[in-house]
């Protein structure tokens, strides 16, 4: 039986072409490097990740996965971009990052292989790039053990998000390459909450992520109008 891969070939090609720039702090990935300390701290609060098994779904070049490993977690990063994974592996080797491994496998395939294998599952800035985000959410819920935590981040499908994340970030400020995001693929918080409920996850916390163009800094807030994050838990 042939299983359809939950991936957009155009999206994979887009990020594969940029793969060699993942760890360039002045590249298109600069925003990910800037928000990573905020994401990492937020993930670490509900249940400190040191010593835990963590999975990063859609890990790309390994920015979050590497930082979780350096915080003491035993991390597996998965992605479907061969080039991005090679960059992640090379960085881990050069930086001598302990306890991190990378695999080219989909979340759905790994869920069938290793259900309940992880204490923490993260899926950041990835859901808006796949054809079926609900399938990824279900896979994440399957991969985390009972009582474990799942963290998502994505972009709201709102007028404000269109203005800030596409017009502002891609065309005016040129923080991201044009075409990085498609408005139709963005996900409203109500939609992501529904995906979580159907997957059997209990939503525990929601936070917004805001960018100040004057200070060029990011901060967490209660405003989920553009970028936002969910912390959900699988019932014990």
Mean pLDDT computed over every residue of the chain? 90
The whole-number pLDDT of residue 158 equals 85
The whole-number pLDDT of residue 112 equals 97
pLDDT (tens digit per residue) in 147-173: 999 999 999 998 787 676 666 666 555
The whole-number pLDDT of residue 9 equals 86
pLDDT (tens digit per residue) in 128-140: 999 999 999 999 9
> How many domains does the chain divide into?
1
CA distances from 72 to 20, 60, 76 (A): 26, 20, 13
Query: What H or E segment, with its residue span, contains residue 83?
Result: helix 82-95
Domain CATH number, residue 78: 3.40.50.150
Angle at 87 between CA 228 and CA 75, to 5 degrees: 60
Does 85 map to a domain? yes
Q: How many other β-carbons are positioned within 10 Å of the β-carbon of residue 204?
A: 13
pLDDT over threshold 50, residue 55: yes
Does 38 map to a domain? yes
Does 144 map to a domain? yes
The whole-number pLDDT of residue 29 equals 82
Does 2 map to a domain? no
Does 3 map to a domain? no
Residue 183: pLDDT band (50, 70, 90) is: confident
Which residue's entry shows tokens 């819920």? 141
CA dihedral (149, 155, 159, 165) positive or negative: positive
Does 18 map to a domain? yes
Residue 22's domain spans which residues? Answer: 9-233
């Amino acid at each position: 039986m042939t299983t359809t891969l939950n991936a957009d070939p155009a999206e994979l090609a887009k990020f594969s072409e940029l793969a060699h720039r993942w760890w360039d702090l002045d590249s298109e990935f600069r925003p990910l490097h800037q928000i990573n300390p905020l994401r990492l701290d937020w993930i670490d609060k509900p249940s400190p990740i040191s010593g835990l098994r963590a999975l990063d779904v859609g890990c790309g070049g390994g920015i979050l996965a590497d930082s979780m490993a350096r915080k003491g977690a035993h991390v597996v990063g998965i992605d479907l971009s061969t080039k991005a994974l090679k960059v992640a592996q090379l960085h881990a080797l050069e930086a001598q990052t302990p306890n991190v491994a990378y695999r080219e496998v989909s979340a759905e395939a790994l869920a069938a292989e290793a259900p309940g294998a992880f204490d923490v599952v993260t899926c950041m800035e990835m859901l808006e790039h796949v054809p079926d985000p609900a399938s990824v959410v279900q896979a994440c819920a399957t991969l985390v053990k009972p009582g474990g935590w799942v963290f998502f981040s994505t972009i709201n499908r709102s007028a404000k998000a269109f203005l800030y994340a596409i017009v502002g970030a891609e065309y005016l400020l040129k923080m991201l390459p044009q075409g990085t995001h498609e408005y139709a693929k963005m996900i409203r918080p109500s939609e992501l909450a529904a995906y979580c409920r159907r997957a059997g996850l209990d939503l525990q916390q929601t936070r917004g992520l805001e960018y100040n163009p004057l200070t060029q800094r990011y901060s967490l807030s209660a405003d989920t109008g553009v970028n936002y994050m969910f912390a959900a838990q699988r019932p014990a």
